[in-house]
């Protein structure tokens, strides 16, 4: 029986995107269960559904023969152990350590970029992005760090992905790429080329296509618009 991956709306749920893209691009079979973001209060359908699986009450949640694994990092490590031949992490030990480091940095950092530039694949918000870029130095600092990190990795591993071949690091930063596209934040040409290469991956393209097909305007996930 394939594993199940519980996710939120593809247009908005950056944390759901990471393991979905990772599993899909790695060729690991799974059943997707999408639980719509109706609300986050305790009696919402979303919370009741997810809390029945995970005490954290958040997506994503991976279910494997009755075992629930939540949190994107934990899911990634579980999948790497469960499917050791699918290239979840780089083969080289030192590269693996670096990949884990940059994933953990994404997991715990870049709060300004995440807070001010919510993932919204369907939207095009360059004017909002220009205001954020002008008024939010913490966002500029977050992006400066990301550009420096990606530049070093692409130069070291000779692309096309951050560690040469696709791995968990690319999946972890896929929602950042979505944000950079939506808000048209300025990046150097070599970084823009990486954005295009990542968006062209079959798994990322499939997620984006599904997000665009949702046509589900969730008000509390749309801080900059009153309608789709």
Task: Return the pLDDT at 59.
Answer: 98
Specify burial of residue 116 (Cβ count, 10 A radius: 0-12, 13-18, 19+).
buried
Per-residue model confidence as pLDDT tens digits over 102-142: 999 999 999 999 999 999 999 999 999 999 999 999 999 99
Per-residue model confidence as pLDDT tens digits over 3-14: 999 999 999 999
Per-residue model confidence as pLDDT tens digits over 81-110: 999 999 999 999 999 999 999 999 999 999
Dihedrals phi, psi of 10, to nearest 5 degrees: -70, -25
Task: Return the pLDDT at 3.
Answer: 97
End-to-end CA distance of the chain: 38
Per-residue model confidence as pLDDT tens digits over 32-83: 999 999 888 999 999 999 999 999 999 999 999 999 999 999 999 999 999 9
Task: Return the pLDDT at 159.
Answer: 85
Q: What three-state secondary structure class fits 214?
A: helix
Whether 25 shows a pLDDT value over 90: the answer reads: yes
The DSSP letter of residue 161 is B
CA distances to 27, 43, 56, 72, 157 from 106, rounded to whole Å, are 24, 31, 19, 11, 19
Domains and CATH numbers, the chain: 3-86 (3.40.30.10), 93-213 (1.20.1050.10)
Contact 11, 122 (CB under 8 A): yes
Beta bridge partners of 63: 4, 68
Instruction: Band the pLDDT of 1: cuts 50, 70, 90.
Output: confident
CA distances to 20, 47, 56 from 52, rounded to whole Å, are 21, 8, 10
């Amino acid at each position: 029986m394939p594993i199940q991956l519980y996710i939120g709306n593809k247009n908005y749920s950056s944390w759901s995107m990471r393991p979905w893209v990772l599993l899909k691009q790695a060729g690991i079979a799974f059943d997707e269960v999408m639980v719509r973001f109706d609300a986050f209060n305790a009696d919402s359908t979303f919370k009741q559904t997810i809390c029945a699986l995970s005490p954290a009450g958040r997506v994503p949640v991976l279910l494997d023969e009755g075992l629930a694994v939540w949190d994107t990092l934990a899911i990634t490590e579980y999948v790497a152990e469960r499917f050791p031949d699918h290239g979840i992490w780089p083969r080289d030990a030192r590269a693996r350590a670096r990949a884990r480091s940059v994933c953990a940095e994404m997991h715990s950092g870049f709060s300004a970029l995440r807070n001010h530039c919510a993932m919204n694949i369907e939207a095009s918000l360059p004017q909002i992005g220009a205001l954020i870029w002008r008024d939010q130095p913490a966002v500029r600092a977050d992006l400066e760090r990301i550009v420096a990190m990606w530049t070093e990795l692409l130069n070291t591993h000779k692309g096309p992905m951050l560690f040469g071949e696709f791995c968990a690091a690319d999946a972890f930063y896929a929602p950042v790429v979505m944000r950079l596209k939506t808000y048209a934040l300025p990046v150097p040409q070599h970084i823009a080329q990486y954005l295009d290469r990542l968006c062209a991956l079959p798994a990322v393209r499939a997620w984006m296509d599904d997000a665009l097909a949702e046509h589900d305007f969730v008000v509390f996930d749309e801080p900059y618009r009153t309608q789709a």
